Structure 1
Amino acid sequence: MSASSSYLVGLIGSGIGGSLSPAMHEEEARRLGLSYVYRRIDLEGLKLDTSALPDLLLAAERMGFNGLNITYPCKQSVIPLLHELSDDARALGAVNTVLLKDGRRIGHNTDWSGFARAFRRGLPDVSLEHVVQLGAGGAGAAVAHAAMTMGAREFTLFDVDAARASALADELQKRFPASTVKAGGSLPDAMAAATGLIHATPTGMAKLPGLPLPAQLLHKDLWVADVVYFPIRTALLQAAEAVGCRTLTGGGMAVYQAVDAFRLFTGLEPDAERMFMHFQSLLSR
């Protein structure tokens, strides 16, 4: 089998035992007739933290990996270890896909395009007049960029790290001068005026259960989009549905970022709809 039809890729992150990326990539590759192995490199399981990234990238290069997906908590700390960045990754200051090619490491971000595609599919006609977002980390930077690209008019960011929220708000305001972007303030006031809520923190994941904000701040005139997909119906989405909100699970973003990453790794066009259906079947198991 020629080198171009066999691929070795991986996912670096912490607590990624439940990730469906390996199964999605490998199944689509099988359908396209490729030999494709996708390995999890779980910092938690290896008892490592982000300080191990230089060693892990070097090891992946030496073992002939074609590329890596990067997830929490490495999307920002991986950047200084790369040789070049795509325009999107540079603008976002976050990387979720690294191509390893000819001794070079090239960082990309398919989170933002994945979220935008999922949003247009699941909430095609909602108002982006006043959007509140919780979370300004790597995933937060990507989905905020997506929301602004789709036309959010007023955008308010909250994060446990106020400085991080301010820095991202300033960055977005420079990139999208026609909109109003701010950080912090009163969450109840922001939520009362909001037409939509984007949740981009790890709260609600299987290992971090709970709600990222008081349920009483949700109201029926709100749409709610979550980036967490494990579990697919988070406590936040259940609370939102209970008060009559339209909701978007993190599943679409998980699929479409994988579609875009697969294209980068292989140079081939995957069948996005087929990957979406496969993802749904994996969740129902």
Structure 2
Amino acid sequence: MSQDSYLVGLIGSGIGPSLSPALHHREADRQGLRYLYRLLDLDVLGVRGRPQEAVKTLLHATRLLGFDGLNVTHPCKQAVVAHLDALSPQAAALGAVNTVVFEDGRAVGHNTDVTGFAASFARGLPDARMERIVQLGAGGAGAAVAHALLTLGAGQVVLVDAMTERAAELAASLDRHFGAGRAAHAAPSALAEHLDDADGIVHATPTGMAAHPGLPLPAHLLHPRLWVAEVVYRPLETELVRTARARGCTVLDGGGMAVFQAADAFRLFTGCEPDTVRMLAHLAELTAADGAVTRAD
């Protein structure tokens, strides 16, 4: 891909506070690129309750308008798959897409959440024990994070989701990909039991977004033997991160995932190599400046 101007966007619900536009714009500016990143918010458009219909319409419209690509976030990461022409192997394995590239007349889906979380985890929790991990959330982001954990060598990931069928389906898919017994699922009522002997917990639900404040689990279940990894990045110290730290847990905020997934998407959109150290510094500046709350894209 060789050009000096790009038009990209983000499709999702409640994305007004997202820092994706600023992260992409700042990196593009440093690289001398003309870059416009637009927000396509289902809430603003009045179609939040119809993600399948909305994402189909928005994909068609952005292709006609000459967009180079799109990021996709909650609640569209799985809904978008049916409307694409092709998927990268990783996106196909996950059944979830967070980045769409328009190229050669086709819409091709990718998933940079996997690589983004993996890079953040390796950087922020390099010595963490990973024999048994409990993960909250089995949606689009949850599928990517679980895939990343098992790729990094986790012994077993136990998926806990209010939608137990969704957790069961994801666990079965992960077992097919990584081997029997590598993934399991449990009902929220069994969370305490599974956390007793877990090494760590990963939070991958919408809790923490501006519209969904609060803790994703009872605070008393957090104990000092656990490390806690978060996908929320605004503020970097979410209620979960703050509470877990106060209870003696080692914590990883969502900032690294936000930056590394954005960097991978930037590379896909432009063909240019992003400077992740610079982007991490940009995120720190941006979050310090406003202290708003949202979830990682």
TM-score by length of 2: 0.93
Whether 2:227 is the aligned partner of 1:228: answer no
Once the two structures are superposed, what CA deviation does each residue of 1:246-271 show, in whole Å capped at 9, x if it has no partner? Answer: 10111110000000000000011011
User: Could you say what secondary structure the match of 2:43 adopts?
Assistant: coil
Match of 1:205 in 2: 209
Deviation at 1:55? Answer: 1.3
Determine the C-alpha separation between the residues in 1 that align with 2:54 and 2:141.
21
Match of 1:40 in 2: 39
Code of the residue aligned with 1:87 in structure 2: it is P
1:49-60 aligned at under 5 Å gives the runs 49=48, 50=51, 51-60=53-62
Code of the residue aligned with 2:152 in structure 1: it is M
Contact 1:205 1:229 in 2 (8 A): no
User: Could you say what secondary structure the match of 2:153 adopts?
Assistant: coil
Whether 2:89 is the aligned partner of 1:87: answer yes
> Could you say which structure has the greater relative contact order, defined with CA pairs below 8 angstroms and 6 or more residues apart?
2
> Which of 124, 127, 143 pairs up with 1:125?
127
Contact 1:210 1:235 in 2 (8 A): yes
Determine the C-alpha separation between the residues in 2 that align with 1:81 and 1:178.
31
Determine the C-alpha separation between the residues in 2 that align with 1:180 and 1:257.
25
Determine the C-alpha separation between the residues in 2 that align with 1:179 and 1:282.
41
Deviation at 1:235? Answer: 1.0
Contact 1:132 1:196 in 2 (8 A): yes
Match of 2:292 in 1: none
Q: Which runs of 4+ in 1 moved over 2 A?
A: none
Match of 2:10 in 1: 11
Match of 2:293 in 1: none
Code of the residue aligned with 1:218 in structure 2: it is L
Determine the C-alpha separation between the residues in 2 that align with 1:164 and 1:192.
24
Match of 1:280 in 2: 284
Whether 2:19 is the aligned partner of 1:20: answer yes
1:100-111 aligned at under 5 Å gives the runs 100-111=102-113
Match of 1:173 in 2: 175
User: Could you say what secondary structure the match of 1:36 adopts?
Assistant: strand
Match of 2:166 in 1: 164
Code of the residue aligned with 1:245 in structure 2: it is C
Deviation at 1:128? Answer: 0.3
Determine the C-alpha separation between the residues in 2 that align with 1:208 and 1:179.
33
Determine the C-alpha separation between the residues in 1 that align with 2:230 and 2:177.
24
Code of the residue aligned with 1:155 in structure 2: it is V
Once the two structures are superposed, what CA deviation does each residue of 1:101-143 show, in whole Å capped at 9, x if it has no partner? Answer: 1220000000010000000111110100110000000000000
| Identity across the alignment (%) | 57
Determine the C-alpha separation between the residues in 2 that align with 1:263 and 1:158.
33
> Which of 136, 139, 142 pairs up with 2:141?
139
Determine the C-alpha separation between the residues in 1 that align with 2:56 and 2:201.
36
206-215 vs 113-122, which moves further: 206-215
Code of the residue aligned with 1:210 in structure 2: it is G
Match of 1:260 in 2: 264
Structure 2 spans left out of the alignment, 5+ residues: 290-297
Determine the C-alpha separation between the residues in 2 that align with 1:84 and 1:206.
33
Q: CA RMSD in A?
A: 1.2
Determine the C-alpha separation between the residues in 1 that align with 2:151 and 2:57.
36
User: Could you say what secondary structure the match of 1:80 adopts?
Assistant: helix
Contact 2:134 2:157 in 1 (8 A): yes
User: Could you say what secondary structure the match of 2:273 adopts?
Assistant: coil
Once the two structures are superposed, what CA deviation does each residue of 1:205-235 show, in whole Å capped at 9, x if it has no partner? Answer: 2221111111111100100001111222111
Task: Kindly tell me the number of residue pairs found equivalent between the two proteins.
Answer: 284
